Copies of this chain bind each other. A is one copy, B any other.
Amino acid sequence: MNRYFDYNATTPMSDAARRAWLEATEKHWQNPSSLYRDAGFAKQKLEEARERLATLLGCDAGRIVFTSGATESNNALFASLASKLPANARVAISTIEHPSVREAAHAAFQGRVVRIPVNADGIVEPEAVSEAIAKHTPALVSIMAANNESGALQPLSSIAAICHRADIPFHCDAAQWIGKLPSSSLGLCDYLTGSAHKFGGPKGTGFLVLRDEDEPLHFLRGGPQEADRRAGTENYPAVEAMVTALEELEPRLPSIAREQSSYRDRFVEALRDHFLDLRFISADAERLWNTTLLVMPRHENLKWLTRLSRRGFSISTGSACSSGKEGSSVVVQALGASPEELKRVVRISGGWHHTEADWLALANAFVEVDRELSEGGKPA
């Protein structure tokens, strides 16, 4: 039984990814920037992996820069754009962006970050993007693909179209989308962030797709790697594992989405049967098939988390990357919530291989924990 329900925080490596990593570290561990034959093979394998990822994303391979993960990608984008743009340039981001977008944007564009609000379902409405553009003419609009807490899918194609009509580049942090929904629909983004460990790849690996193959951005200096944009010995084994993980998932995503969302819905139904006043965030929005964000009607979220953990279940109180107070949900704050409600937020995020029994066991554990906490009883 799989009791891990925190796939939005991180995922176990897939067997295929682990095998790919092992093979790469055994056969192609040479420095891809070295000039002898075996290093050339490693370089070739790295570039093949870049092409394979480009095929999945529907973009040119030359636009992909491999990084150490989504956080680096987001920081690198904002920092390097800020160094190129005029000193009064603004960027526009939504109020529900991941902290690595929000804090990177604020650090790079101090006082020049426009915040685009969400509606009551946690969705950035295209009209809100139009308004922000009309009012502030930002140099970049950054809206995530799928929210990490609520799973709410943002109207990317409408937003991208609005940005493109205004000739403003559109960045999308798709760390939670990639590996859960088809990546090919992300080709319309000018800049795109992805993270391997969110879809069964290794930690410490990700990518940033740039607007242009020849875009002269420099994230890390000190070597000609990644077309002079990100210095440092290329981590081919991790890249190979990342691309392998995604290639394995992509063709299976439609059937996984159908199956898993039905299990998740059964889970939510079971919870609603027991908890009459459950607040279900983004309930009416299109969401990732794996994610449910709830405000529990009673008991603080750390109590839920701890008691469920004793039963072997792993859930979250929000994002593992949320800065500041543990367990504070960016989304629920953006939607307006009392401090007391914020303490009752829990996030459940499943994986690709859960069974209906896994989900129902989790629902059952919630009911048990509720009884335990409500009766003030000792843990089982």
User: In the bound complex, do residue B13 and residue A31 qualify as a contact, i.e. CB atoms below 8 Å apart?
Assistant: no
Q: How many copies does the complex hold?
A: 2
Q: Out of B34, B203, B237, which one reaches A316, CB within 8 Å? A: B34
Q: Which residues of B contact A195 (CB under 8 A)?
A: 233
User: In the bound complex, do residue A34 and residue B6 qualify as a contact, i.e. CB atoms below 8 Å apart?
Assistant: yes
- Bound-state Cα–Cα, A197 to B29, Å: 10
Known: A68-B68, A203-B235. A12 touches B38 (CB 8 A): no
Write out, one digit per residue, whether chain A residues 186-209 have a CB within 8 A of any chain B CB (1) or not (0).
000000000101000011110000
User: In the bound complex, do residue B30 and residue A10 qualify as a contact, i.e. CB atoms below 8 Å apart?
Assistant: yes
A221 at the A/B interface (Cβ < 8 Å)?
A: yes
A100 at the A/B interface (Cβ < 8 Å)?
A: yes
Closest B residue to A104 by CB, please name it. Answer: B221
Whole-angstrom distance between the Cβ of A365 and the nearest chain B Cβ: 12
- Bound-state Cα–Cα, A91 to B237, Å: 36
Q: With a 10 A CB-CB cut-off, give which of A75, A221, A314 has the most chain B CB atoms.
A: A221
Q: Which residues of B contact A35 (CB under 8 A)?
A: 302, 305-306, 309, 316-317, 326-327
A51-104, CB < 8 A from B: 68-72, 74-75, 98-104
A166 at the A/B interface (Cβ < 8 Å)?
A: no
Chain A to chain B contacts (Cβ below 8 Å), 29 pairs: A6-B30, A9-B33, A10-B233, A18-B22, A25-B202, A29-B203, A35-B306, A36-B315, A37-B309, A69-B232, A71-B221, A71-B223, A72-B232, A75-B222, A75-B231, A99-B223, A100-B223, A102-B222, A103-B221, A104-B222, A107-B218, A202-B237, A203-B235, A204-B204, A204-B205, A204-B238, A223-B322, A224-B321, A233-B320
- Bound-state Cα–Cα, A326 to B33, Å: 10
Q: Out of B232, B302, B305, B323, which one reaches A68, CB within 8 Å? A: B232
Q: With a 10 A CB-CB cut-off, give which of A205, A220, A228, A313 has the most chain B CB atoms.
A: A220
Whole-angstrom distance between the Cβ of A43 and the nearest chain B Cβ: 11
Closest B residue to A100 by CB, please name it. Answer: B222
A270 at the A/B interface (Cβ < 8 Å)?
A: no
Other A-B pairs, 15, CB within 8 Å; known A10-B31, A34-B314: A6-B31, A34-B320, A35-B305, A37-B309, A69-B232, A71-B220, A71-B222, A71-B232, A99-B222, A100-B220, A197-B233, A203-B235, A203-B236, A204-B204, A232-B321
User: In the bound complex, do residue A33 and residue B234 qualify as a contact, i.e. CB atoms below 8 Å apart?
Assistant: no
Whole-angstrom distance between the Cβ of A78 and the nearest chain B Cβ: 9
Whole-angstrom distance between the Cβ of A226 and the nearest chain B Cβ: 11
User: In the bound complex, do residue A100 and residue B29 qualify as a contact, i.e. CB atoms below 8 Å apart?
Assistant: no
